[in-house]
Structure 1
Amino acid sequence: MRFAEKLAAAWAANDSLVCVGLDPDPQRLPAHLSRDAAGILAFNRAIIDATHDLVCAYKPQIAYFAACGAEEALRESIAYIRCNYPAIPVILDAKRGDIGSTAEQYAVEAFDRYAADAVTINPYMGHDSAEPFLRRADKGVVVLCRTSNPGAADFQDLDVDGRPLYEIVAENVARKWNANNNCMLVLGATWPEQVARVRALVGDLPFLVPGVGAQGGDVEKLVRAGRTADGAGLVINSSRAILYASSGEDFAEAARNETRKLRDLINAYR
């Protein structure tokens, strides 16, 4: 099954647009878990078991694993999802972007080493840096467009012939990069007006949307701005608000409750 088909099936099966970001900070793990790769893996498995029927995707952030030498925990976390909940797509948040020969290796890393269904990339270096990912027709390529951080405007809003740069990125991805129907765009929940503008430009192209929960994005404004005609089109990520809903031994139950609350809130506006 290609990534776009797998994502659409997960939207429907779980009636959910929620993506849980797997960003395991060893210093924030519950006290009964070890602060090493084994503790990270145990934490991730518990979160996944508790939320798998409430989500449309998981998004592990590679930096949280690489910083503490826990890459094997990342690989095993993805393998756990693929073995136990194979219908849920995994988006590896790596934000890769480099020249062709290096990009080839990053594509191998994401899709072969870690067996992710999709990966985030940076479009700054242009089409040839994205092509090694794009040619993997069964895999998703999630392109940064208008991100959720305060500094996004420094470059993404720069005027290009009377239009902001992020609109040019969105149109290029939708019209030139998406020949295999495997592209998505990253658009921050903190900027619903920009989300609406991009939706009008690119039709039903899916959006990965960080910025709800700890970053304060408005769910109602986001969903109304970004949903497609069938009430889908969005993969709305929450990480810290779900992962660290409790610091005790009930952390997985608390994560489930937060995930359900977010799913139901999103669905109220679909």
Structure 2
Amino acid sequence: MTFTRKLDQAWADSNSLLMVGLDPDPQRFPAELTDRPDAILQFCSAIVDATAPYVCGFKPQIAYFASRRAEDQLEALCAYIREHHPTLPIVLDAKRGDIGSTAENYAREAFERFDADAVTVSPYMGFDSIEPYLAWRDRGVIILCRTSNPGGSDLQFLTTDNGDPLYLRVAELVGTKWNTNGQCGLVVGATFPKELAAVRQRVGDSVPLLVPGIGAQGGDIPATVQAGGNAAGTGMMINSSRAILYASGGDDWREAAGRAAKATRDAINAVR
């Protein structure tokens, strides 16, 4: 099953546009995981189980694992999700951006080592830095467009030769040239709903948008849904990480994560 088909099915089956970001920070883990060598895996797999009924997928951020020499736990986590929640897509948040054989190896890392359904990449070096990922036609390639961080405006708002800001030029390239196999998506932050609406208008209904920025980053859910949704009422993976992962630091941390995920899903669905 291709990434886009799997995502379509997850939207329908779960009745959810919520994606949970897996950004494990051991300093915020509950006391029961202290000094466990597999604490990252145990924390993330428990979060996955607690939130799976309310989400359309999971987004592990590779830096949180690699910085702690826990890539093996990321491999095990991806395998756990595929075994126990096989209908939910895994988006590896890596934001890779390089050319030629280097990009081929990054693609192999994402799609073979971790067996992710999709990966995030940077378009800064142009199409030849994106093309190697497209060889895996059943996988998704989600391209940075209008990011949720304030500094994104330093480059993404630069005016291009046709008068568009750079982020809309990226959206145009994805919508008209790069998405040859129908496997591309775009990252557009919830903190900029006007730009989110502009991207949706530019690429049409079929390109999925990964939308970070709600929850701890303060993005507005009604504005996000109104701006980024497609005609089917889907089209987005609205990501929340810290607000769900660390909803409680007590013994009820699993249940609290599930409650936070359900509340976020319901808040999104209330304005769809």
Task: Provide TM-score, normalisation by structure 2.
Answer: 0.98
2:6 partner letter: K
Which amino acid in the other structure matches residue 255 of structure 1?
A
1:82 corresponding residue in structure 2:
82
In structure 2, relative to structure 1, the CA distance for the partners of 1:39 and 1:135 (3 Å cut) is same
Aligned: 1:27 with 2:27: yes
CA shift at 1:134, angstroms? 1.4
**CA drift at 1:97:** 0.7
**Residue type matched to 2:177 in 1?**
K
* Secondary structure class of the residue paired with 1:124: coil
1:191-215 Cα distance to aligned partner (Å, 9 max, x none): 0000001111100111000000000
- 1:53 counterpart SS class: helix
Alignment of 1:196 onto 2:197: yes
How far off is 1:37 after superposition? 4.7
CA distance in 2, matches of 1:35, 1:196: 46
TM-aligned CA deviation for residue 45 of structure 1 = 1.0
CA distance in 1, matches of 2:5, 2:36: 36
Distance 1:152 1:178 in 2: 23
**Contact preservation (8 Å) 1:26, 1:36:** no
- The one-letter code of the counterpart of 1:247 is G
Structure 1 distance, partners of 2:232, 2:8, is: 11
Matching residue's letter, 1:167: L
* Residue number in structure 2 paired with 1:123: 123
CA distance in 2, matches of 1:22, 1:158: 32
Equivalent runs, 1:114-193 vs 2, <5 Å: 114-161=114-161, 162-193=163-194
Give the equivalent residue in structure 1 for 2:229.
Answer: 227
Q: Distance in 2 between matches of 1:53 and 1:87?
A: 11
| Structure 2 residue 14 is matched with structure 1 residue 5 | no
Distance 1:37 1:158, change over 3 A: farther
Alignment RMSD: 0.8
Distance in 2 separating the partners of 1:16 and 1:141:
21
* AA at the equivalent of 1:64: Y
Matched, 1:247 2:249: yes
CA shift in 2, pair 1:253/1:153, >3 Å: same
Matched, 1:15 2:12: no
Among candidates 259, 264, 268, match of residue 266 of structure 2? 264
Deviation above 6 Å: which 4+ runs of structure 1? none
Deviations 1:151-176, CA, capped at 9 Å, x for gaps: 01000000113210000000101111
Between the aligned partners of 1:152 and 1:35, the Cα distance in structure 2 is 37
Whether the 8 Å contact between 1:135 and 1:180 is mirrored in structure 2 is: no
8 Å Cα contact 1:134/1:177 also seen in 2: no
**What does the per-residue CA deviation read over 1:227-258, in whole Å, with 9 as the maximum and x for residues that have no partner?**
00110000000000000000112111000000
What CA distance in whole angstroms lies between the structure 1 residues aligned with 2:12 and 2:35? 36
- 2:213 is aligned to 211
- SS of the residue 1:119 aligns to: strand
Q: Which runs of 5+ in 1 are unaligned?
A: none
What CA deviation, in whole Å up to 9, does each residue of 1:33-83 have, x standing for no partner? 035550111101110111111100100000000011000110101100000
Q: Give 5+ residue unaligned stretches, structure 2.
A: none
Displacement of 1:31 in angstroms is: 1.2
- How far, CA to CA, are the matches of 2:37 and 2:268 in structure 1? 33
Q: Would the aligned equivalents of 1:186 and 1:209 in 2 still touch at CA under 8 Å?
A: yes
Contact 1:143–1:184 (8 Å) recurs in 2: yes
Aligned-partner residue type, residue 191 of structure 2 = T
Equivalent residue of 2:20, what SS? strand
Change (3 A) 1:247 1:160: same
- One-letter amino acid of the structure 2 residue matched with residue 260 of structure 1: K
Tell me how far apart the structure 1 counterparts of residues 154 and 256 of structure 2 sit (CA, whole Å). Answer: 37
Q: Distance in 2 between matches of 1:90 and 1:111?
A: 10
**Does the aligned pair in 2 maintain the 1:22–1:61 contact within 8 Å?**
yes
Aligned length, in residue pairs: 270
Paired position in structure 2 for 1:93: 93
Q: 1:68 to 1:100 in 2, by over 3 A?
A: same
Change (3 A) 1:233 1:130: same
